[in-house]
Amino acid sequence: MTTAFDPADLAGRPLANRIVMAPMTRSRAYGPGHSPTGSMAEYYAQRASAGLIVTEGIQPSVVGQGYPDTPGLHSDEQIAGWRRVTDAVHERGGTIFAQLMHVGRIGHPGLLPGELRPVAPSAVRPDGQVFTKEGPQDFTTPGELSADEVRATIDDYVSAARNAIAAGFDGVELHGANGYLIHQFLAPNTNRRTDEWGGTDENRIRFAVETVRAVADAIGAARVGLRISPSNPYNDIQEPAPDAVYRALVRAVEPVGIAYLHIVEATTGLRPLTRELRGEFSGTLVLNPSSEGPTGHDALGLVEDGTADLLAFGALFLANPDLPSRLRTSGPYNTPDPATFFGGDERGYTDYPALATV
């Protein structure tokens, strides 16, 4: 029986175990031009015992930013900052992928320089608010991307992926989940286009598929992962009938030969779809299971029963830098402090103790 503590092969790359640090926004890119700091390098290095680290969302372009102090991968200073992070992780034996996250409509003009404003598949304003340095602000109506701008945005992902490899990352994960740009193209309430990028299921998956193909062509398919979250309502997404579109998406990217598919389950009721998608995909399946089901040590059975190849943990990894060791012994676990999740200093960031110091 395979367990979460057994080594794994990720498209030819050996992983020490099957436990993944899930991507988590921390809003602490205080370096020049939203570049990583030494504190960020220490944060990720502390968690290098994960089989795979997936970074916080990194904007592939200036307009892709949606929160304060989130990092980019579109400038030389950002590449240099991330090189310090990847070197620190590799020195401790870890593997690290950069998550490329364009937020699309989930942002605010106040977070962007000059006259830039958020963009999206269609000019549909999301319900809700976004946090800015001036406090919560209502979302605004995004600009609808022209066909040429859609192609240029794919090019931005490609450029950022190349920058990730230059910065020493082992690969990239394309964030197609949680209501951000790729997900906005997939969802019918956010993609109301009638051109080749919208309308039918085939057209709504096109942006995701073309981005996967372009990035794989640029850096190699074995260095690419894709994250999806069918029916996740986060960020005002509505997908009442997700099965057909996600089956079509996975079938379309399967021939590309990407390293992994990362599924975020919004509810345990989506487990049948997860199993269907696993049947369509021959690569590694990473599962971020719903918090409605078993968590912590109790979730490890999802590897043992073959539901997933790798298992991703979010807040538990945030608070427990040595999480694989703690999972092996069923704890004890540090308790995450939500007040320090976004922004701040080392408190709630690099000061969570490992077991040896508890």
Q: How far is C-alpha 295 from the geometric centre of its chain's CA atoms?
A: 20
Angstrom distance (rounded) from CA 117 to CA 141: 9
Overall residue count recorded for the chain in this entry: 358
Take residue 121 and report the two structure tokens written for it: 């598949």
| Helices then strands, each counted (H, E), the chain | 11, 14
Angstrom distance (rounded) from CA 310 to CA 9: 10
Distances (CA, A) of 179 to 77, 98, 186: 29, 19, 9
Angstrom distance (rounded) from CA 288 to CA 284: 13
Summarize the chain as % helix, strand, coil (round to 5): 35, 15, 45
Angstrom distance (rounded) from CA 274 to CA 230: 9
180 is catalytic: yes
Angle at 107 between CA 208 and CA 261, to 5 degrees: 30
CB atoms within 10 A of CB 244: 9
> What is the C-alpha end-to-end distance of the chain, expressed in Å?
32
128: left (phi over 0), alpha (psi -120 to 50) or beta: left
Q: Indicate the angle between helix axes 76-91 and 147-166, nearest 10 degrees.
A: 40
CB 99 within 8 A of CB 173: yes
Angstrom distance (rounded) from CA 315 to CA 298: 16
Catalytic residue, candidates 180, 246, 260, 349: 180
Angstrom distance (rounded) from CA 330 to CA 311: 16
DSSP assignments along 103-116, one per residue: -TTSS-GGGSSTT-
List active site positions: 180
